[in-house]
Amino acid sequence: MKSPKSQTVQKRLLALKSSFWLFKIHLKWALCLINLVVTVKSEFPTTIHFNYKCLDNGNYTSKSTYKTNLDTLLSTVSPSIDNNGFYNASTGENFDRVNVIALCRADLQPYKCRDYVKNATAEILKKCPNKKQATLWHEFCMVQHSNETIFGTLAYSPFDWGYSEEKLTNLDKFYQELNILLDSLRNQTAYNSSPKKFAAASRVNRDYETTYAFEQCTPDITPKECDDCLKNSVLLIRECCDDAARVGILRPSCYLRFGTDFNFYNETIVEILKTIASPMPPPLLSPPPPPPGKDVLLVNPNFFFCSGIYFIE
Ligand SMILES: *[C@@H]1O[C@H](CO)[C@@H](O)[C@H](O)[C@H]1NC(C)=O
Ligand SMILES: *[C@@H]1O[C@H](CO)[C@@H](O)[C@H](O)[C@H]1NC(C)=O
Ligand SMILES: *[C@@H]1O[C@H](CO)[C@@H](O)[C@H](O)[C@H]1NC(C)=O
Ligand SMILES: *[C@@H]1O[C@H](CO)[C@@H](O)[C@H](O)[C@H]1NC(C)=O
Ligand SMILES: *[C@@H]1O[C@H](CO)[C@@H](O)[C@H](O)[C@H]1NC(C)=O
Ligand SMILES: CC(=O)N[C@H]1CO[C@H](CO)[C@@H](O)[C@@H]1O
Mean pLDDT for the stretch of residues 196-222: 91
List the residue whose alpha carbon is closest to atom 1 of ligand 2. 59
| Whether pLDDT at 47 is above 50 | yes
**pLDDT digit string, tens, across residues 238-289:** 999 999 999 999 999 999 999 998 899 999 999 999 887 654 444 444 444 3
Atom of ligand 5 nearest to the CA of 266: 1
pLDDT-above-90 percentage for the chain: 68
Q: What pLDDT is recorded for position 275? A: 82
**pLDDT digit string, tens, across residues 114-154:** 999 999 999 999 999 999 999 999 999 999 999 999 999 99
- Using a 6 Å cutoff on CB, does residue 59 contact ligand 2? yes
Lowest mean pLDDT among 11-20, 106-115, 154-163: 11-20
User: For 165-184, b where at least 16 C-beta lie within 10 A, e where not — what string?
Assistant: ebebeeeeebbebbeebbeb
**pLDDT digit string, tens, across residues 191-201:** 998 999 999 99
Mean pLDDT for the stretch of residues 38-60: 74
Measured over the CA atoms of residue 121, residue 123, residue 126 and residue 132, the dihedral's sign is negative
Beta bridge partners of 230: none
DSSP secondary structure, the chain, as one string? ---TGGGHHHHTT-TTHHHHHHHHHHHHHHHHHTTT-S-------SSPPEEEEEEEEEE--TTSHHHHHHHHHHHHHHHH--TTSEEEEEES-GGG-EEEEEEE-TTS-HHHHHHHHHHHHHHHHHHSTTEEEEEEEETTEEEEEESS--TT-----S-EEEE-SPBPSSHHHHHHHHHHHHHHHHHHHHH--SSS-EEEEEE--SSSS-EEEEEEE-TTS-HHHHHHHHHHHHHHHHHHSTTBSEEEEE-SSEEEEEEESS--S-HHHHHHHHHHHTTPPPTTSSPPPPPTTS------HHHHHHTT-----
| Whether pLDDT at 179 is above 50 | yes
Q: What pLDDT is recorded for position 278? A: 57
Residues with CB under 6 Å of ligand 6 are 88, 90, 151
Q: What pLDDT is recorded for position 129? A: 97
Q: What pLDDT is recorded for position 137? A: 98
What is the whole-number distance in angstroms between the Cα of residue 58 and the centre of ligand 2?
7
Spatial contact of 265 and 140, defined as CB atoms under 8 Å apart:
no
**Angle in degrees, 0-180, between the axes of helices 110-127 and 65-80, rounded to the nearest 10:** 160
Q: What pLDDT is recorded for position 262? A: 84
Q: Which residue has the higher pLDDT, 156 or 22?
A: 156
56, 95, 127: residue to mutate for ligand 2 pocket, most atoms within 8 A of CB: 56
| Whether pLDDT at 64 is above 80 | yes
Mean pLDDT for the stretch of residues 181-205: 95
Atom of ligand 6 nearest to the CA of 89: 7
Most confident residue range from 5-14, 44-53, 205-214, 238-247: 238-247
List the residue whose alpha carbon is closest to atom 1 of ligand 4. 187
- Using a 6 Å cutoff on CB, does residue 147 contact ligand 1? yes
- Closest listed ligand to the CA of 128: 2
59, 60, 66, 95: residue to mutate for ligand 1 pocket, most atoms within 8 A of CB: 95
- Using a 6 Å cutoff on CB, does residue 59 contact ligand 1? no
Mean pLDDT for the stretch of residues 167-182: 93
In the chain, the amino acid numbered 294 is K
| Whether pLDDT at 11 is above 50 | no
What is the whole-number distance in angstroms between the Cα of residue 160 and the centre of ligand 3?
20
User: For 63-91, b where at least 16 C-beta lie within 10 A, e where not — what string?
Assistant: eeebbebbeebbeebbeebeebbbbbebe
Beta bridge partners of 224: none
